[in-house]
A and B are shown apart, each in its own frame.
Chain A
Amino acid sequence: MSRDDRDLPGELDQDQPVTPAEQTRAEAFGKWIDALSAGEPLPPAMDSDDRALLETASMVLASSRAVDLEPERARRLVDEALENAMVGQWPPADSRSGEHHLGTAPRGLTGRALGRLSGSRAVPPEGDGDDREAASRSSTDLVLSGRRRADRVLRHLPWAVASLAAAAAVVLFVTTHKHDRKGQAPVPPVAERPLRLQVANTSRPADPLIGPIDRRDAGGASERLDILFADRMDGYRDLVLRRALRVEEP
C-alpha cells in the first residue's frame, strides 16, 4: 500500500523504499483492522477510500471464520426464513430484522454485526433480551403467519363471491334471453281496446248547453264561450284521463 498505489494503481513500483508517511498510514490502517476485529466502532470521520478498504477487510475476516450463533438466535433465523418462504414476502431491507437476514448481504457492517460475525470473542449484542423474547415467540410466528394468510383470503372472499354471482347472473340472462328468442313465438302486440266514447267526450253542437239566446244577450258571446269551453274541457280531460289510465268498461 503506497501513495502511488492509491494515486496510480497501474504503475506500482516494488523496488522503491517505503516512505515514512506510507509506513504511518499502514500502521493506522492495521489499528483500525484490529479495532474492528475486537468489535469496536469505526471512527466517525474517515476517508471514503479508507472506509471501503475497511469494509472489504471486515468481509474477508467474516468469511474466513465460522459464525457461531446462539441456538435461540439460529432457531429464530430459521423460523424467519421459513415464514418468508411460506408467505412469499421478504421483510424490507431497512427493517430491524433485515439487518440479520440470511438472504441479504449488508453493504456496510456495523461493529455490532461484525462482532457477531467474527466469533473470535463472544460479545453479547445489544438488546439481547428482546431477541430472546422474539426467539421465544418464534414458535408461534408460523401460526400467526397462517392466520394472516387466512385473513387475507377472508378479506378477498366476498369480492370473489360477488364477482362470481355477477358473472353467473350475466350468463343466466344471456342464456335465458336466447332461449326465449329461440323457443317461444314472438309475443303479439297487445291490441289497445278502443275507448268507449261518451257524448261528453265528443265534438257536438252547443245548443243543448247554451239554449235559446235572449236578445239582450245577443252580444254576450264571451260568456257563452266560457260555458262552452268549460264543458268541453271537462269532457276532454275525462277522455285524456281514461286513455292514460286505460280504464275501460268490458
Chain B
Amino acid sequence: MRGWLAAMLIALVGMGGGAAGMVAGCATRDDGSPGDGRRVTKLPQPGPELSQELMIALAMARNYHHKAEIYLKEARIEQATTAVRQVLSIQFPTGSSEGEDIELDARARLAKLLVPQGKLDEAMAVVNEGIARAHRHSFFLANLHSVRGEVLEARAAKLAERDKGQAAAARREAIESYDQAIQIEKALIEQLSGGEEAE
C-alpha cells in the first residue's frame, strides 16, 4: 500500500514537472523574439540527452549527403538532387535542434543543386519553406537566407533581358535576403562571444 502511495506521488510529481516544463517551454519560445517568435537575445540552451533515435537520424542524413557527393563527382546532378531531397524526409526527434539545423542545411544544398538545373521556382519554394519552418535563428538559417539571395540573383539574371523591372525587384529582394543573413549571423556571433566571456 505504501508502495502504491509512493508511486502515485512520484507520478503526480512527474506529471507536475512535465506540465511545468511544457509551460516553461512555451514561455521560452515566446519571449525575446523580435516579431517572428525566434530567440535571438538568449543563447540556446541544451535540450534533452542525446538519444539513439537522434544518432540514427543523423547517420542517415550523413549517408544521403555522401551519396549525393558521389553522384556529383559523376556529374549525375539529378540523382544527387534526389539523394539530398531524401534528407528532408528523415524523422528527427521532436524538437531536436540538430534536426532543424540538418533540415535547413539540406534545403540550402538542395536549392543550390536546383539552380543550375534552371529549377528556380522549385529552389525558391524549398528555401522559403525552410525559412518559414525554422523555430530559431541559427547560422544554418542565415545560410539559407544567403542561398535565397543566390536564387533571387539567378532569377534576376534570367529576367534581365525580358523584364528589367522584375529583374531589379529580384535583385532588391536578394539584397534583403543577404541583409537578413548578415543580421542573423551578427546576432549569433555576439551571443556566442558573450556566452564564451560569461563562461
**Which A residues from 77 to 129 make CB contacts under 8 A with B?**
none
Contacts of A205 in B (CB 8 A): 44, 97-98, 101, 136, 138
Find B48's partner among A203, A213, A228 (CB 8 Å cutoff): A203
Q: How many A-B residue pairs have CB under 8 A?
A: 116
Q: Does A15 sit within 8 A of B, measured CB to CB? A: no
Main secondary structure of the interface of A (DSSP, over half): helix
Known: A202-B48, A232-B98. A207 touches B139 (CB 8 A): yes
Which residue of chain B is the closest to A208 with respect to CB atoms?
B192
Shortest beta-carbon distance from B44 to chain A in Å: 4
Find A204's partner among B84, B93, B97 (CB 8 Å cutoff): B97
Contacts of B51 in A (CB 8 A): 203
Known: A221-B65, A222-B66, A235-B50. A207 touches B44 (CB 8 A): yes
Find A239's partner among B50, B84, B142 (CB 8 Å cutoff): B50
Which residue of chain B is the closest to A195 with respect to CB atoms?
B49
Q: How far is the CA of A46 from the CA of B84 in the complex (A)?
A: 113
Contacts of A225 in B (CB 8 A): 58, 61-62, 65, 102, 105
Known: A206-B97, A218-B108. A229 touches B47 (CB 8 A): no
Shortest beta-carbon distance from B133 to chain A in Å: 15
Shortest beta-carbon distance from A244 to chain B in Å: 14
Q: How large is the interface on A (under 10, 10 to 19, 20 to 34, 35 or more residues)?
A: 20 to 34
Shortest beta-carbon distance from B181 to chain A in Å: 9
In the complex, the answer to whether A219 meets B46 with C-beta atoms within 8 Å is no
In the complex, the answer to whether B139 meets A219 with C-beta atoms within 8 Å is no
Query: Binary interface profile of B, 56-73, with partner A (CB < 8 Å = 1, else 0)?
Result: 001101100110110000
Q: Does A224 sit within 8 A of B, measured CB to CB? A: yes
Q: How far is the CA of A223 from the CA of B45 in the complex (A)?
A: 24
In the complex, the answer to whether A232 meets B139 with C-beta atoms within 8 Å is no
In the complex, the answer to whether A204 meets B46 with C-beta atoms within 8 Å is yes
Known: A211-B139, A236-B55. A203 touches B65 (CB 8 A): no
Pairs of residues from A and B, 10 with the lowest C-beta to C-beta distance, nearest first: A202-B46, A222-B65, A219-B112, A221-B105, A213-B143, A203-B47, A221-B109, A236-B50, A205-B97, A205-B44
- Can you report 29 residue pairs joining A to B where beta carbons are below 8 Å apart? A197-B49, A202-B47, A203-B46, A203-B48, A203-B54, A204-B44, A206-B138, A206-B139, A207-B138, A207-B192, A210-B140, A212-B188, A213-B139, A218-B150, A219-B109, A221-B105, A221-B108, A221-B109, A222-B65, A222-B109, A224-B105, A225-B61, A225-B62, A229-B59, A232-B55, A232-B98, A233-B55, A235-B50, A239-B49
